[in-house]
Every structure is written in structure tokens, then in C-alpha cells.
Amino acid sequence: MSKSADLNKEPEEVASMFDGVAKRYDIMNDLLSLGQTKAWRKKATAIIAPTSGMKILDIAAGTGSSSRPLADAGAEVIPADFSQGMLDAGKKRHPDLKFTLADALNLPFGADEFDVTTISFGLRNTNDVQKALAEALRVTKPGGRLVVVEFSHPTNKVFRKIYMNYLMGFLPKVARRLASNPDAYIYLAQSIQAWPDQEELAAKIEAAGWGSVAWQNFTFGIVAVHIAFKDKL
């Protein structure tokens, strides 16, 4: 799959790609993030502020790294992903979590079910961002929140150039040496480069029907967390 990334991905192709890298995905994510993945997840968990009695849908949960701290805080969490390979790896690591096979564009849940719907590093891998955001809105309770954690655009021009050169230069070389499917990580790097910046993503979230959209940058904007609310009835 050595091709330039675009935002019109076939779901089966992306699912197959993640099936192939599931076992080492968390390790390779550390390379994508310059070693900041755990720190980002900790900050995102603090923003979600999980508590006992809260029901959370974690879309694109992969192996459950983002779901684990939510569950440990007492929330009822459903880790959902469309890659069976990721789910299988997650079940081995976290057998107590309710991993569910789910397509972000057609979620197998009823309307108004969740207090928080979150998606970490997965929105850009859907082939219809607006539909994914609309589905997240549908399953979230009135007054509930959306929390999107996603790679974004560093706000400093010099640092942005350095980071993008790292993604497209050094990372592919490392992936070819360490990864079983290096094309998957090259594709991920390209998808980050092609992804909308913070303001553009906020506009997409608002266009999907969410209100009070705001964002917070992590590590100079390598990652941005977008927060939005579903209007109360």
C-alpha cells in the first residue's frame, strides 16, 4: 500500500491495515508521538474526568489504552473498534473491558446512550468524517460531551517543519526496520500531514451539529483535543 495518503479511505482497507499492526501498535505510536502518547492520554483522561456512573463510548479504542484509565476511574466504558485484530489484542490485555466491533460510520448503539463519546487518533482514519461526527452526536445524551484526541498541526512554523520532516523522513526509516507492516505507519504519517488543522476540525465538528466547540493543544499542537457538547432537549 505504498501510496500517498488521502482522506477517502476504504473501511476494509484500513481495518486490514490495523489488523496487521495490532500487536505492536502501541509501541509504534510512541514513535509517531515522540514518546508523548502516555502523557497525552493522561491529559485527555483528565479532560474527560471519568467518574462512577458515567457511561462512555470510546470509538477507535484499538487495544484499549485509552479505555483503561476511564474504567479504572469507575466509569462504564465500551471500547469500540472496526479492527478485529485490535479488539483481539485488547481483550488479551484487558479481559474485563467490553470490547465491541463497531464502525464509526454506523455505530451499533441506540440514540442518547452515552454521557461522553470520545475518539482518540481514529477520526482521521474514517472515510467520512462528517458522518462519524454525526453518529457520535446521535449516540450521545443531550448535554453530553464529545472529546476528540487527534494529531494536528504544530502552531510554531519552525517546529511544524521539523516535525513534518521527522514524520516523512525519519519515521518511515524506523518503521521499515521495526514494524511488520511499515507501509501502515508510512500511511499514518501521511494521513497526519493531510489532516485539517485545529480551526478546520472545529468547523467540521460544529457543522455536524455539536455546540460550544473548543480545543486544547498538546506539545505545541502536535496533538489537539477538541471538546464539544450536544444541546440539551
Q: For 1-29, write each residue's pLDDT tens digit.
A: 333 444 455 666 666 666 555 556 666 66
Rounded CA separation 140/103 (Å)? 16
Residues paired with 216 in a beta bridge:
225
Contact 206, 126 (CB under 8 A): no
Among 66, 51, 54, residue whose Cα is nearest residue 114:
54
Task: Domain ranges for the chain, please list them.
Answer: 11-22+34-154+196-229
Q: Which pTM was predicted?
A: 0.85
Give the distance between the most distant pair of CA atoms in the chain.
53
pLDDT tens per residue across span 191-200: 888 899 999 9
CATH number of 11-22+34-154+196-229: 3.40.50.150
Question: Which strands sit side by side in the sheet containing 223-229, from one edge to the other?
Answer: 100-101, 76-81, 55-59, 114-120, 140-151, 223-229, 211-218
Q: 3-state class of 115 per DSSP?
A: strand
Residues paired with 144 in a beta bridge:
none
